[in-house]
A and B are shown apart, each in its own frame.
Chain A
Amino acid sequence: MEPFDTITGIAAPMLDANIGTDVIMPKQFLTGIDRKGLDRGVFYDQRFLPDGQKNPGFVLNEARYSNAKFLLTGPNFGCGSSREHAVWGLRQLGIRALIGTSFAGIFFDNCMRNGVLAATLEARELDQLSQVVVQNPGLPMTIDLPAQQISIEGHMNLSFEIDDLRKKTLMSGLDPIGATLQYKQDIIDFEDRHLQENPWLADQAEVSQRS
């Protein structure tokens, strides 16, 4: 996972409410067994016309947003299906951060797992930010994760909240499974006690293969 530190790029507004993972990554792109080629699927039904041509009316097809690294998102972005393909696709399309007022829970976690920052602002702040973005084509935005700052030079500077654990995970880009396995002995001890207290949870012929 690519670490997230300070990133500068173009932001694109997608402020509709309730944009779900069904829309971010339509089902026809979910049939693979690897993560490849999902950039094509992102917002497919909006991005492309039925004949496969780019839909000129879709925001990410506008020249000014074509290299966007950030999306400004509406409430409840990423709601619905748990499909992580939505985040893989956004990441493959070059998106590194989403800035919105609220994100659906599973999607929010999936973002963190893939080096995509999902930052939450107050509605009023997001409003101001999107006005600046819309009124200043080509003006880049900078997200400084260590300082928890979003800025557009000469226009605004906002701070955002993120809990330490998520911040560290994003900044380090480290393998979370490896990190958890540091606590292997704690898990073993817990498990032994838990199965003793709740013997119906233990499988009789069980072979634990603890990694």
Chain B
Amino acid sequence: MESKTLYDKLIDSHTVKTLDDDGHVLLYIDRHIVNEYTSPQAFSGLREQDRNVWRPSTTLAVVDHVNSTEPNRVDFSTQESGANQMRYLADNCEKFGIELFDLLDQRQGIEHVVAPEQGLVLPGMVIAAGDSHTTTYGALGAFGFGIGTSEIEHLLATQTLVYKRLKTMRVTIDGRLGFGVTSKDLIMTVIRKIGSSGATGFVMEFAGSTISDLSVEARMTICNMAVEAGARGAYMAPDDKVFEYLESKPRVPKGALWSKAVEKWRELRTDKGAEFDKEVELNASHIEPMVSWGISPDQADGISGIVPNAENNVTHPEKVAIEKAQKYMGLEAGTKFEDIPITHAFIGSCTNSRIEDLRQVAAVLKGRQVANDVRAIIVPGSSLVRQQADEEGLADIFKAAGFEWRQSGCSLCLAMNEDVLKPGERCASSTNRNFEGRQGAGARTHLMSPAMVAAAAITGRLTDVRKLVQGT
């Protein structure tokens, strides 16, 4: 039999019909997640055409992008337009029979945290959602990808998408991560290496001993952020860690069905000898904690580094890009990263706000205090993560250190609610995008791991968390 990549197996097993010789297929989608801000026009389209939702039970709706993260939130956002979107989502879910985790539901949270947490993402599934970070689900051996609003409407009405098969890239990572180095540093290193469009037109398979050694949550961080290299999907073969992670989740199959499923899921891997269009290899043992200094996720380097000089050895477009980034970020060439002061520290987003992330943060914060002039915020990935962190006593550590402990949502990852930075403010952030204006017009974002954000919050400047922790 011909050797196949796991990607090809997943696409083949979900192909309803081949549409042409160019690689277009009608692709069946097993699971769909909708949020309040990219779905309204899709539902309006269905209403206008008097169309039904094909299989409502496959869709989950979650409120996450526009809602308030006030610690004592009681009701809809105080912002009129956000409330409008939440109301319309509730309306649409009621009309079309879709399950909704509304703002005050105890399972509410960021869609990409909530769906795996509920066990709604299973190995072998093909999943689409109106959000680019749908790639996250690849960590469970599913294939997830982001779609626009027109495609949401198409998916709701037909349970399918017109899909074009992509090229494949395998990233093999071996070696042990050093102390204080996380999967966030790993994916930021990959993005730096291949560039922010290095995987455009590709899906990425992550493989190698470093990946196997990671926890399932840490793997999610990698698949989540692969989209920042342009990948339209990222996945890893599911293993025992994945099955263990899933087994206790509320919505997974139970009993005999579970055993039968696991048996089949064990076959989900790339065949020996299968060919990829591109292979990338990386040794993880040399990686340092990473920080971004610019306005694109590939403008990043190890914390011991400096802001690069545009004159050094780069092509003309790169030079222009570096100069543009320096200007926006208010940084001069040669500045040491560790000399860059911050005004804000933010821990949150679908990249890094799960319970393991929060445990790492607590380990750094315990017995320490946030610097005087820094506003430090933690927004847990879901309301259940928040509850667990409360129960484990992590929240007490956060509050004692001077962090705000807020309710779940996207919050300062994209600043659509009232959590917005002002021009010139500078934030150490555990999020995924440092584009101009992402956290507020004129605001400056430095991406890094949650532990690195915690370290920066304490010293008031970008800091090597290893020095901070080992120095005590």
List A residues at the B interface (Cβ < 8 Å).
Answer: 16-18, 20, 22-23, 26-27, 30-35, 45, 74-76, 79-84, 87, 102-107, 109-110, 113-114, 163-165, 176-177, 180-181, 183, 186-187, 190-191, 194, 198-201, 203, 206-211
Listed stretches B143-151, B169-177, B279-287, B302-310; interface member: B143-151
Could you say which residues of chain B place their CB within 8 Å of the CB of A206?
55, 57
Residue tally, chain B, CB below 8 Å to A:
83
29 contacts between A and B (CB under 8 A): A17-B317, A17-B321, A18-B295, A20-B435, A23-B435, A32-B40, A32-B84, A45-B437, A83-B38, A105-B201, A106-B132, A163-B24, A164-B22, A165-B24, A165-B162, A177-B153, A177-B158, A180-B160, A183-B17, A186-B26, A190-B16, A194-B28, A198-B261, A199-B257, A200-B258, A207-B57, A209-B54, A210-B55, A211-B52
Is B414 part of the contact surface with A, judged by Cβ < 8 Å? yes
Chain A-chain B contacts (Cβ-Cβ < 8 Å), number: 209
Which has the most chain A C-beta neighbours within 10 Å: B22, B147, B158, B159?
A: B158
Would you give the shortest CB distance from A39 to chain B, in whole angstroms?
16
Is B357 part of the contact surface with A, judged by Cβ < 8 Å? no
* 11 additional contacts (CB under 8 A) given A74-B317, A83-B148, A87-B148: A27-B437, A45-B442, A81-B131, A109-B148, A187-B54, A187-B160, A190-B17, A200-B257, A206-B57, A207-B97, A210-B55
In the bound complex, CA of A114 to CA of B125 (Å): 29
Could you say which residues of chain A place their CB within 8 Å of the CB of B454?
none
Instruction: Give which listed residue, B20, B41, B52, B66, contacts A209 with CB less than 8 A.
Output: B52
List residues of B (9-36) whose CB comes within 8 Å of A's CBs.
13-14, 16-17, 19-20, 22, 24, 26, 28, 30
Is B57 in contact with A203, judged by CB distance below 8 angstroms?
A: yes
Is B53 part of the contact surface with A, judged by Cβ < 8 Å? yes
Given contacts A84-B150, A165-B162, contact A198 B130 (CB under 8 A): no
Would you give the shortest CB distance from A119 to chain B, in whole angstroms?
15
Mask of B134-171 contacts with A, CB within 8 angstroms, 1/0: 00000000000011111101100111101010100000
Is B159 in contact with A187, judged by CB distance below 8 angstroms?
A: yes
Given contacts A113-B148, A113-B151, contact A79 B230 (CB under 8 A): yes
Instruction: Give which listed residue, B146, B158, B200, B230, contacts A82 with CB less than 8 A.
Output: B146
Could you say which residues of chain A place their CB within 8 Å of the CB of B416?
27, 30-31
Is B441 in contact with A26, judged by CB distance below 8 angstroms?
A: yes
Could you say which residues of chain B place their CB within 8 Å of the CB of A198?
124, 261, 264
Would you give the shortest CB distance from A18 to chain B, in whole angstroms?
5
In the bound complex, CA of A31 to CA of B82 (Å): 6
Instruction: Give which listed residue, A27, A33, A209, contacts B415 with CB less than 8 A.
Output: A27
Is B147 in contact with A106, judged by CB distance below 8 angstroms?
A: yes
Instruction: Give which listed residue, B16, B41, B149, contacts A187 with CB less than 8 A.
Output: B16
Would you give the shortest CB distance from B188 to chain A, in whole angstroms?
16
Could you say which residues of chain A place their CB within 8 Å of the CB of B17?
183, 186, 190
Is B164 in contact with A163, judged by CB distance below 8 angstroms?
A: yes
In the bound complex, CA of A75 to CA of B150 (Å): 24
Instruction: Give which listed residue, A30, A106, A209, contacts B56 with CB less than 8 A.
Output: A209
